[in-house]
Structure formats: C-alpha cells, structure tokens
Amino acid sequence: MKSIAIVPAYNEEQNIGRVVDELRAFDPELDVVVVSDGSVDRTAEVAAERGAHVVALPFNLGIGGAVQTGFKYAHAEGYDLVVRCDGDGQHIPAELPKVLGPVLAGEADIAVGSRFAGGDGYRSSATRRIGIRLLALIVSAIARQRVTDTTSGFQALNRKALDLFAADYPHDYPEVEGMVMTIKHRLRLREVPVLMREREHGRSSITALRSIYYMAKVLTALFVGLFRRRVVPAEEA
Amino acid sequence: MIAAGTPLKVSLAATGASLVLLLVVFELIRSRRLRERYALLWLVTGVVLVVLSAWRGGLNTIAGWLGVKGYPPAVLFAVGLMFVILVLLHYSTVISRLADQNVVLAQRLALLETRLSEREDRS
C-alpha cells in the first residue's frame, strides 16, 4: 500500500528537518511531501535535502490551501493512505500507529488524533480551553458522535477521504470544517487519543479577545459550511 | 392633503448627474476598461436613475406608493443606495470567485513545478 505523509509548513526551517527525519525514521516506506506555504526562509530546501518531496506554493494560501495541495499531490500520485502532520514538530511520528490503526483496519475513513480524548497531558489557557470545549460540543452535536479535539491536524485518511479532500477542502479552518464535511459526506470519522508536544516557541499567544473573534469566525464558517452545496469528487479524467 | 412634488432644480441636477454616470460607464466599456459583464449592473443603475430623475411625475407617484410624503427625491437616494449595495454584493461574489481561482492556480503551478523538477532529477 502506497502511503505518504503530508506536512504543511510555513517558515519552519528550524523544525522541518527534524519532522522529516522523524517521519522517515518511523517508517522508511512512508513517503513525505512537504508543502511549503509561501515560505520565505529555507523550509523547501531543508525538506528537499532530507529526502522529502517538496511542493512550494508561490505565495501563502493559509493552512487549508496548503494541506489541500498535499492532498492533490497524493491524489495525483496515486497514494492509498495519507497521514497529515504539522510542520512545527508538534505531532510525534511515533504516535502515528494510533491514528493509522482505525484506517488500516477499515473501521474509519478518517482518523483524527486528539489531545484531549485520553485525558491528561495537554495544557493551555482557560479561554482557549473553553473555546475548544465549546467547538467540540457543537461539532459533536452536528456529527452525532463525540469529538474532543476539533483543531487537530494529526490525521490519517484513506483513498475515499483523499478523493473528497483533493477535490474540495475548506480553506479557513480546515480541521473544524473538515470534520463537518466528513460527516456530511457520510465518511466514517474516528477520534483516537494521542500525545502531542507542546509548542516550543510561544507563537500561539491567543488573547481572550482574539479567542472570541476566532470563535465567531469559526462558527460562521461552520454554519455556512452546513448550508453549502456539496461538491462531489469528480472521477479522474 | 397635497403631497409635495419634486422641485425642478433637483430633477435637473439629478438627471445631469445620472447622465454623467451613464456616460462614464459607456466610456469605460468602450475603452475596454470595464467588461460588459460587470457593466450591466452599472448601466441598469444609470438608466433607472436617469429615468427617475427626469420623470418627475413618476418619481412623485412612486414616492406616493412608498409612503414618502415630505420629499419625493428621497426615493432617488433609496434607489441609488439599493443599487450601490447590489453592486458591492456583486463585487464580493466576483472577488470570492477570483480568490478561489487564484488558490487553484497557485496549487496547480506548485504541483507542476514539483512534477517537472522531480522528472528532471530522475533523468
């Protein structure tokens, strides 16, 4: 089975080398494609030196556009199994078997690694926790199944899910909206507990006001997404 | 009760302004700086404003229907504003489509570059 790891990265020259190395060490059979999302540093070069396929976007598309580029690559190259892994080193390749498990067993089309499903480990500020909890509740209600981590980019997908996301993938908040899309398209979603590293550099300094703004935008995107016409993945021409 | 009419001066000024708008739109289309497709709304806006400005009886009647009693030319503002909103909304859809197309182009370009360079490396 041809499998590939998609790693979106924006100016991650410090971390990307280690991420690629870890993925390749985890499984030498696993191909790696790094999508450099308009990086202005050496992200693309470093990734290529470490033996990853590199797709370099001409300008920054944002996380959704970058990840979809990876999906399109995997789709065109005929991969059957895809894992998604962030380029900042937050996701631990050694945890991959956990997300791969349900997909390999044919029990899920998409498996999402959750920081919260297992209980302990991941700490963040109070406002963020409330926001995460609220989003999880809303998505759980829409999905009619319990989800705990709606912002996790640590995922495994089979070919069916890949077909869908290569054709249509949400741009702004792809993890949250992607979950809803998954359900709407009647794909099977499974959440599995995983460990993640805490972010090393304090880039994600989200204030209370920002969190509220973020929530408003995500919720809008979510509800708009519910009414949006569904794009059916076209057969490859 | 006698409804107030549209003052002649207001009518003349509004007609003049609307005609200028129409002329500018025509010139932009003629010089190919505005695509017909996007010009349609502007043309309709201009024509409607010219008609309502010049035809005082009509404006007064419409004002009567809408319950605008004091000052019929207020209808001109309302109609103008409505078209401005329509045009803006139209632009939002145009921009959205352009943004989507831009994303697809960027992705396709990047994927083609990757395919090309990987093919060159192999040979």
**pLDDT tens across A34-91, in order?**
999 999 999 999 999 999 999 999 999 999 999 999 999 999 999 999 999 998 888 9
Report the distance separating Cα B116 and Cα A202, nearest Å.
38
Q: Tell whether the model's pLDDT for residue A235 goes beyond 50.
A: no
| Per-residue pLDDT tens digits for A91-143 | 999 999 999 999 999 999 999 999 887 655 556 667 777 878 888 999 899 88
Which numeric CATH code is attached to A3-227? 3.90.550.10
pLDDT more than 70, % of chain B: 97
Q: Quick one: which of A107, A83, A68 has its CA closest to A27?
A: A83
Contacts 24+ apart (CB under 8 A), A221-226: A221/A170, A221/A172, A221/A173, A221/A176, A221/A177, A222/A138, A222/A139, A222/A142, A222/A173, A222/A176, A222/A177, A222/A180, A225/A170, A225/A177, A225/A180, A225/A181, A226/A142, A226/A180, A226/A184
Angle, helices B36-54 vs B8-30, to 10°: value is: 160
Touching check for B107 and chain A: CB below 8 Å? yes
Q: In angstroms, what CA-CA distances link B7 with A150, B73, B74, B81?
A: 62, 9, 12, 21
Please name the member of A59, A61, A73 whose beta carbon is closest to the beta carbon of B111.
A73
Touching check for A73 and chain B: CB below 8 Å? yes
Extract the residue ranges of chain B whose pLDDT is less than 50.
1-3
Report the distance separating Cα A145 and Cα A111, nearest Å.
13
pTM given for the model: 0.84
Nearest chain B residue to A58, by CA: B106
State the residue for tokens 């700086």.
B33
Touching check for B27 and chain A: CB below 8 Å? no
Do B103 and A61 count as a contact with CB atoms less than 8 A apart? yes
pLDDT more than 90, % of chain A: 56
- On chain B, the residues whose CB falls within 8 A of the CB of A73 are 111, 114
Q: Residue length, chain A?
A: 237
User: Closest Cα of chain B to A61: distance in Å?
Assistant: 7
- On chain A, the residues whose CB falls within 8 A of the CB of B107 are 57, 61, 65, 68-69, 72
Q: Judge residue B79's burial from the number of C-beta atoms within 10 Å of its C-beta, 0-12 exposed, 13-18 middle, 19 or more buried.
A: middle
Report the distance separating Cα A107 and Cα A127, nearest Å.
34
Question: Beta partners for A196?
Answer: A91
Do A56 and B113 count as a contact with CB atoms less than 8 A apart? yes
At residue A3, what are phi and psi to the nearest 5 degrees? -130, 150
Do A56 and B111 count as a contact with CB atoms less than 8 A apart? no
